[in-house]
Amino acid sequence: MQQIGFLFIVICAVWACNSPKADSTTTELLEQPPFLEWTDRIENDPENDSLYFKRGRLLMQGGHTAAARTDFEKAWSIKPTALLAAYLANSLESPQAQCSFLKQAINQFPGDFPLEYMLAESFQSIDSTDAALNITQKWLQSGIEIPEFILLHASLLEKKGNKTESLYLLETLYENEPNYRPVKEILALRYASSGDSKALRLCEELKQTDSTGRDPLPSYYLGIYYSTTKAYAAAIQSFDRTILIDYNFIEAYIEKTSLLYDQKNFKGGLEVLSKALAVAPDHASVYYWTAKCQQALGEKESARFNYLKAYGLDKSFIEAKAAADQLK
């Protein structure tokens, strides 16, 4: 198996440490510990790129993304490196900006796997699937066998409709890395969604690796499997178990509601959704399914309001907008 080594591990850590928090590069922030030590060093040696890089990493770890980006940009202006490019790209606010910068960085550091991996992920996030596949295909043909990269390639193939090759990659990865949890999760969901009984074995494996008993995914995947195979009572029990383990698991509420809706238990669906709304008052799908149940009960005015609420929360939810328009 070809290995990329330390730099790829660092890139994964860069993504992991990114935080949704943001603040400005104020003098007050940089004059406070633990940043003050590096601020003093920078004042004494303002052209030392490594000082800006180290302070930037410290700022990033603290969730001060905007301040970190300023330091990374300064370090980049002094001495560009591939590792610095990864940190700087991760501090950018939008996938489009990440793509633009990473393409520039790759021109300076051609053939750098970690940067191209990040670019492929950025392409995926803006739905440039073909561009992402061009990158992943090239590296897989070169012999790269990093599990995370194979998962990315498989997801891109799935998005392009090549489900057979995608599933083959996942199953091969599972055979080679049987203890790699992410591929178990993905395969369990794939099997469950198609009614393949292999889902049962994988769910059992996931349960066995959960020493705390607090992982909701095995129960959720079982719910999907039983729903697909029309074992509705077992499906509802599985979704109830999922919610009991993690009451924030909104997808379980939605799946349970969908089952109740199909059984024409619209009032039961609304009861489930009222609990979901308490947990996620800004989740578009909850309002959409609330509207569907209300419409089925003849409550057209309330249904239209909630369809529009769903669309207002998620402008890509065209089904909600179309349903609201039909109730005018």
Q: What is the pLDDT along the chain (328 residues), one digit of tens a residue?
A: 444 444 444 444 454 444 444 344 467 899 999 999 999 999 999 999 999 999 999 999 999 999 999 999 999 999 999 999 999 999 998 899 999 999 999 999 999 999 999 999 999 999 999 999 999 999 999 998 899 999 999 999 999 999 999 999 999 999 999 999 999 999 999 999 999 999 999 999 999 988 888 999 999 999 999 999 999 999 999 999 999 999 999 999 999 999 999 999 999 999 999 999 999 999 999 999 999 999 999 999 999 999 999 999 999 999 999 999 999 8
Domain of residue 309: give its range.
Answer: 251-328
144 in Cβ contact with 2 (< 8 Å): yes
Domain-ending residue, one of 218, 246, 274: 246
Around 125, how many Cα atoms within 13 Å sit in the side-chain half-sphere? 13
Q: Judge whether 212 lies within some domain.
A: yes
User: In this structure, are residues 173 and 150 in contact, taking their beta carbons and an 8 Å threshold?
Assistant: yes
Give the CA distances from residue 124 to residues 14, 208, 247, in Å, rounded to whole numbers and listed in that order.
18, 33, 30
Q: Which of these three, 224, 246, 268, is where a domain ends? A: 246
Contact 55, 45 (CB under 8 A): no
Looking at the DSSP assignment, which residues form a beta bridge with residue 323?
none
Tell me, yes or no, whether 198 lies in a domain: yes
In angstroms, the CA 64 to CA 91 distance is 10
Residue with tokens 């943001």: 22
Of 246, 267, 297, which residue constitutes the final position of a domain? 246
Query: Does residue 126 form part of some domain?
Result: no
**CATH code of residue 315:** 1.25.40.10
CA–CA distances in Å: residue 208 to residues 29, 54, 214, 234: 46, 41, 12, 20
Q: Is the pTM of this model over 0.85?
A: no
CA distance 293 to 132: 40
